[in-house]
Amino acid sequence: MTDEPEILARIQSGLGRITLNRPKAIHALNKGMCDAMIAALLAWKDDPAVKSVLIDHAGERGFCAGGDIRMIAESGAGDASEAKAFFHAEYRLNHLLFEYPKPVTALVDGIVMGGGVGISEPAEVRIATENTTYAMPETGIGLFPDVGGGWFLPRLPGFVGTWLALTGARLKAADTVFLGIHSHYLPADAVEAFRSILAADPAHPADFADGLEDDAGEAPIEAHLPTIDRLFGLDTLEEIFAALEADGSEWATAQLSTLKTKSPLSMKVTLRQLRTGATLDSFADNMAMEYRLGGRVVRTHDFQEGVRAVIVDKDNAPKWSPASIEGVTDETLDALFAPLPADEEWTPLPQLA
């Protein structure tokens, strides 16, 4: 055990700096980490001495690999109260960052998945490096791309967000910057110079990022965008599967093969989540939807089985139930998306309500 705090929050010459400090777990978020970040951000929100905020990470393994999945699964196997408490805090943090009145910069140098996406996507400046690997891989463990995925993913170009969410595809910086997931590309060896400049003059991080940014290179995804829009812009998962099969190209066949390994329930939840999220007027409404889903989905067979197969036993052979997409009914989805009792719904922080 160590007494080292999992979040390092301090003010450096007008820069509020939050450093994720759980490197052995690739900074996977837990409720304590979310609470600590919320406390720091609220303390700095109206402090004139703090000009902007920087979120980065300690160590070299990555920015943030997601949430504490083992805890969430153990809680979901019971009454899910601990999981729901985590989601409530995490989603309040996501919303606070989305609404934050001062510039926020996220230095996404390394792995950024799930919960890491949730604390970086709301930032004004989102810097990727050659080490960046981005993904929302939740359908592979029976979950769905939460932490704002229902808002951000359908607002990417065309239907590329649907493709990312359903397949869990991993992207490098050339693609993430091209798609606007990240705002700037910096070589990893320029990151320290950016930190130093920002600490000296923290008021305008976007200007410094603009001045230092480099070319991330050609985006491999660009060539596939028309195909993605044609095949992943359809209304139902059955239509997407059929279109991929009918297309028959090497790329489409590979996508279909990937989808067939994912949880049918998760994929249908995810497709409805993104289609619904695209119609919502506020980020808070999206987070309320995702909170309803989160507390219910973690109690499903597929989430428990996905965590067992991928994270606990690591046999990568989950037995999904239902085993096919046709077995997931609209009634099942309606129950997962249904409103909660008024006193159980997710709400923003009182300071933002």
Q: Which domain holds residue 35?
A: 7-344
d(CA 227, CA 199): 44
- Single out the catalytic residue among 115, 148, 150, 161: 115
Token pair for 319 = 């037995």
Specify whether the CB–CB gap between 128 and 176 falls below 8 A: yes
pLDDT at 205: 96
pLDDT at 3: 78
Closest by CA to 17, choosing from 57, 48, 46, 47, is 57
- Single out the catalytic residue among 62, 67, 116, 140: 67
Tell me 50's DSSP state. Answer: -
Tell me 338's DSSP state. Answer: S
CA dihedral sign of residues 208, 214, 216, 217: positive
Residue 154 in any domain: the answer is: yes
Residue 353 in any domain: the answer is: no
- Single out the catalytic residue among 90, 138, 290, 305: 138
Residue 328 in any domain: the answer is: yes
With a CB cutoff of 8 Å and minimum separation 6, the contacts of 18 are 7, 8, 9, 37, 40, 41, 53, 54, 55, 56
SS (H, E, C) 213-231: CCCCCCCHHHHHHHHHHHH
With a CB cutoff of 8 Å and minimum separation 6, the contacts of 200 are 13
Does residue 146 have an active-site annotation?
Answer: yes
* Helix-helix angle 160-167:225-232, to 10 degrees: 70
* Helix-helix angle 330-337:264-277, to 10 degrees: 60
Residue 352 in any domain: the answer is: no
Specify whether the CB–CB gap between 95 and 352 falls below 8 A: yes
Q: What is the pLDDT along the chain (353 residues), one digit of tens a residue?
A: 457 899 999 999 999 999 999 999 999 999 999 999 999 999 999 999 999 999 999 998 899 999 989 999 999 999 999 999 999 999 999 999 999 999 999 999 999 999 999 999 999 999 999 999 999 999 999 999 999 999 999 999 999 999 999 999 999 999 999 999 999 999 999 999 999 999 999 999 999 999 999 999 999 999 999 999 999 999 999 999 999 999 999 999 999 999 999 999 999 999 999 999 999 999 999 999 999 999 999 999 999 999 999 999 999 999 999 999 999 999 999 999 999 999 999 999 999 97
Q: Please report, for the domain that includes residue 329, its CATH number.
A: 3.90.226.10
User: What SS3 class is residue 164?
Assistant: helix
pTM of the complete model: 0.97
User: What SS3 class is residue 173?
Assistant: helix
Q: Which amino acid is at 323?
A: A
pLDDT at 2: 55
- Single out the catalytic residue among 6, 56, 109, 146: 146
- In DSSP notation, 294-312 reads HHHHTTSHHHHHHHIIIII
Residue 149 in any domain: the answer is: yes
Count helices and strands in the chain by DSSP H and E runs: 16, 9
Residue 97 in any domain: the answer is: yes
Residue 216 in any domain: the answer is: yes
Does residue 138 have an active-site annotation?
Answer: yes
d(CA 79, CA 296): 10
Residue 350 in any domain: the answer is: no
Count how many domains the chain has: 1
pLDDT at 1: 47
